[in-house]
């Protein structure tokens, strides 16, 4: 499943702390075959030198004040995304890449502003269960026509711009109005938590994009 990459030359940043703590272990292990993983905390650290970002799920809403206060990191991620650095975000990672996250007090807290969407927390569960979806636009992890499987679990609603572009068409599951996987620059943000073994070539495409970015 691993492509011909020089692990020493590709570094993927992975947020790992109380705000971002949900990852399939097999996903991280698959990435480690082809790239060096650099773990850091968006709560109080800056972006390490990386060629790509994999932002998993968790509870950003519970730590929103610290996340939104780390403006240097948010601005850095925004700039790197605009430069073309590949970013793959799932669940809470989608909220983090959005323009803002509104929590229980209703106030929107500014975040990375990479994808054209706002997210708001809800009292009711919005989605729970296994999902299946078709790739309808080439994206950071898969090519058009592939069918992937995963799961979704969230108490939030994403409100994308009307002209937002989506990589996924939902076959089973909720997503965002029957779609999911918002694409902006070389970033992909989705409610779906994907298992690496459902992707035809694993994360080779993502690591390859990070390798190309490192050489640019």
- Which two tokens mark 69? 């206060």
Which residues have CB under 8 Å from 51's CB, separation 6+?
10, 11, 12, 35, 85, 86, 210, 211, 213, 214
Q: Distance between CA atoms of 23 and 17, rounded to whole angstroms?
A: 11
pLDDT in tens, 93-121: 999 999 999 997 678 999 999 999 999 99
pLDDT in tens, 52-86: 999 999 999 999 999 999 999 999 999 999 999 99
Measured in whole angstroms, how far is the alpha carbon of residue 36 from the centre of its chain? 18
| 158 DSSP assignment | E
Which residues have CB under 8 Å from 25's CB, separation 6+?
none
Q: What share of the chain is helix, strand, coil (3-state, %, to 5)?
A: 25, 35, 40
pLDDT in tens, 122-162: 888 787 889 899 999 998 888 899 999 988 998 899 999 99
7-121+182-215 is a CATH 3.40.50 domain: yes
Report residue 172's pLDDT band, with 50, 70 and 90 as the boundaries: very high
Dihedral angle sign, alpha carbons of residues 110, 114, 160, 90:
negative
Domain range list for the chain: 7-121+182-215
């Amino acid at each position: 499943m691993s492509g011909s990459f020089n692990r020493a030359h590709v570094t993927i940043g992975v947020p790992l702390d109380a705000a971002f703590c949900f990852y399939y272990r097999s996903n991280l292990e698959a990435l480690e075959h082809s790239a060096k993983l650099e773990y850091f905390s968006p709560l109080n650290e800056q972006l390490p030198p990386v060629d790509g970002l994999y932002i998993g799920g968790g509870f950003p809403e519970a730590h929103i004040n610290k996340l939104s206060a780390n403006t240097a990191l948010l601005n850095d991620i925004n700039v790197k995304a605009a430069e073309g650095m590949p970013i793959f975000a799932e669940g809470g990672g989608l909220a983090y890449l959005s323009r803002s996250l509104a929590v229980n007090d209703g106030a929107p807290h500014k975040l990375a502003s990479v994808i054209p969407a706002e997210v708001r927390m809800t009292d009711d569960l919005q989605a729970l269960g296994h999902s299946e979806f078709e790739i309808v636009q080439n994206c950071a992890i898969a090519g058009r026509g592939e069918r992937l499987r995963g799961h979704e679990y969230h108490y939030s609603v994403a409100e994308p711009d009307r002209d937002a572009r989506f990589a996924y068409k939902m076959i089973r599951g909720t997503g965002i109005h029957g779609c999911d996987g918002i694409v902006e620059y070389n970033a992909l943000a989705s409610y779906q938590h994907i298992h690496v073994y459902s992707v035809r070539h694993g994360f080779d495409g993502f690591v390859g994009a990070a390798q190309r970015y490192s050489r640019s």
